[in-house]
Structure 1
Amino acid sequence: MSATLVTSALAPASREGFEPPSISDFFPEGFAFVGTPFEMNRIMMIRLIMTGVLVLLFAIGASRARVVPGRFQGACEMLIDFARVNIAEEIIGKRRAAPYVPIITTIFLGVLFLNISGVIPGLNIAATSVIGMPIVFAVVAYIAFTYAGIKNHGVFGYLRSQVLPGGVPKALWILIIPIEFFSNLVMRPVTLTIRLLANMVSGHFLLALCYAATNALFIHATGALKGLGALTFGASIAFVLFEIFVAALQAYIFALLTAVYIDSSINTH
């Protein structure tokens, strides 16, 4: 339901009850260290909270580790094993994946926990919905697959493999080299950033719009129009479940593509 339709459904005297989401949601005012490089706003606070939760959960899991794991330890191990086996080893290979398992696991868990804040009451916005955090993860991934290529092939060998595929006739080098350079060395981190950012921003707008419409229809609408609030409330529940799925899916895709890029840097032809 669009903001226009919902607003028009409200009584003229109560239209102020509908507050649609806006771009200002992603740029809250600072509340600490304002005017310094360490300025703290709501988004930064959420990032710190979710990072602290991630570290705390796995610290507790590690401190209580047993030969026969309990449910909590089993859940922690399941997440780690998923990143190790189903992402790193599946894509790169068991033997070659070992040095890169820690970074791939960190990316997977980091993106997952920062994404999931978008559906946590009181936080209500993904910590990755502002471009700074997706860029950080993309830069880490870029460093990882660049390091993998240089480690295995040397600087010049890696660069040549990225800009000049094997078997290309010399007559086409002037055409292929700029395309491959732009595709492999420039666009990879850019697409990683935009994909994650766009999904988290759109998810926030969908959820916030449903919440705002539900509040406006239940509280400020008149007569039978209040019944529409049940529809928007149902949509809110559905979108919460969908956003949980998207949060996990985007974490998986980000880590998976990082593993794919590492593999392509190692196994050049």
Structure 2
Amino acid sequence: MSPNMVSADLVANLVAAGGEGGFETPGVADFWWPVVPFDGTGPWVLTRPALVLLISVGILGWFFVSVSRKMTVVPGKTQFMAEGAYNFVRNTIGRDIIGTKDFMQFVPLLFTLFTMILLNNLFGIIPFVQFPTMSRVGIPIVLTLIVYVVYHTVAIRRKHGVLPYFKSLIPPGLPGWLKPILFVLEFLTYFVIRPLTLALRLFGNMLAGHLMLLVFILGGEYLLLHGSNLFLNFSGVLAFGFSIGMTFFELLIEFLQAFIFTLLAALYISDAVSEHH
């Protein structure tokens, strides 16, 4: 049975258990949580995603600074972890994708993207936080904008100007009538489709995964405590068990999404530094 079918059955049971005015299924409203209002009536607040993001920056900064100050020939556990993450991004993503000639200048960006996205994704299953920051679409959009500013800046410099860069979007040797059509398609690909899909892929996976966990955890609690019969109580236990399995699956997704975002950023940068772009 697919997770969607299980989720639908669970919601139906919740409605039966609680009736009208009972259990309310989680929704996108659960992702908005003002923490500290800057004024009494204005829209500017320190939200939960912003707070978690700031905490992640502090944790990463403290971790890597403290590790770099105590480097040894034989690494300890923390140094081994830090070096493993760095070598993974440097070699597997940076060098293998961008190439040995140009990759080093982009490793700091790629390493920052990977570690920050991974930690903020992991916050979705860490107790007492349990909120994936990337489930707020504004944050993946900002990260995507950073990637694309770097990408287009590098491409323009490699082509020695904006006009040569736009000309490079059209392969040589095409018939004249086909060039405008291909230019529009390539322009949409590089300036609209790629950034849109890069941001929405990360956002959508984190939002859907977190909502799924909320449904099974909160729904299981409600069925277990407020179910009107033993069947509903037992369904609550099953929902809790399923939520544990989904948590491990979500852990895999969180790592993959950090890897995919960084990998695609490296692919786009590789395209920018390529002589054949």
- Please give the TM-score of this superposition, normalised by the length of structure 1: 0.92
Q: Give the corresponding residue for 2:32.
A: 27
Q: Distance in 2 between matches of 1:91 and 1:166?
A: 25
Q: Distance in 1 between matches of 2:71 and 2:148?
A: 33
- 1:178 Cα deviation after fit: 0.8
Where 1:40 maps in the other structure, the secondary structure is strand
Q: Give the corresponding residue for 1:166.
A: 172
Q: Give the corresponding residue for 1:220.
A: 226
Unaligned runs of 5+ in 1: none
Classify 1:167/1:116 alpha carbon distance in 2 versus 1 (closer, same or farther; 3 Å). Answer: farther
Q: Distance in 2 between matches of 1:167 and 1:185?
A: 24
Do structure 1's residue 74 and structure 2's residue 80 form an aligned pair? yes
Q: Could you report, residue by residue, the CA deviation over 1:185-206 in whole angstroms, capped at 9, with x for unpaired residues?
A: 2221111111111111101110
Do structure 1's residue 256 and structure 2's residue 256 form an aligned pair? no
- 1:168 Cα deviation after fit: 2.3
- 1:11 Cα deviation after fit: 5.3
Do structure 1's residue 149 and structure 2's residue 169 form an aligned pair? no
Q: Could you report, residue by residue, the CA deviation over 1:53-111 in whole angstroms, capped at 9, with x for unpaired residues?
A: 22222122112211211111100111111111000111111221111111111111111
Q: Distance in 1 between matches of 2:120 and 2:90?
A: 20
Do structure 1's residue 231 and structure 2's residue 238 form an aligned pair? yes
Classify 1:182/1:207 alpha carbon distance in 2 versus 1 (closer, same or farther; 3 Å). Answer: same
- 1:213 Cα deviation after fit: 1.2
Q: Distance in 2 between matches of 1:11 and 1:171?
A: 65
Q: Distance in 2 between matches of 1:170 and 1:208?
A: 55
Quote the RMSD (CA, aligned, Å).
1.9
Q: Distance in 1 between matches of 2:241 and 2:11?
A: 20
Q: 1:182 corresponds to which letter in structure 2?
A: L
Q: Distance in 2 between matches of 1:241 and 1:132?
A: 26
Q: 2:25 corresponds to which letter in structure 1?
A: P
Q: Could you report, residue by residue, the CA deviation over 1:20-57 in whole angstroms, capped at 9, with x for unpaired residues?
A: 21111122234231456862022211111122222222
- Tell me the number of residue pairs that the alignment of Structure 1 and Structure 2 aligns: 266
Unaligned runs of 5+ in 2: 1-6
Q: 1:10 aligns with which of 17, 24, 29?
A: 17
Q: Distance in 2 between matches of 1:185 and 1:160?
A: 15
Q: 1:221 corresponds to which letter in structure 2?
A: G
- 1:115 Cα deviation after fit: 1.2
Where 2:205 maps in the other structure, the secondary structure is helix
Where 2:149 maps in the other structure, the secondary structure is helix
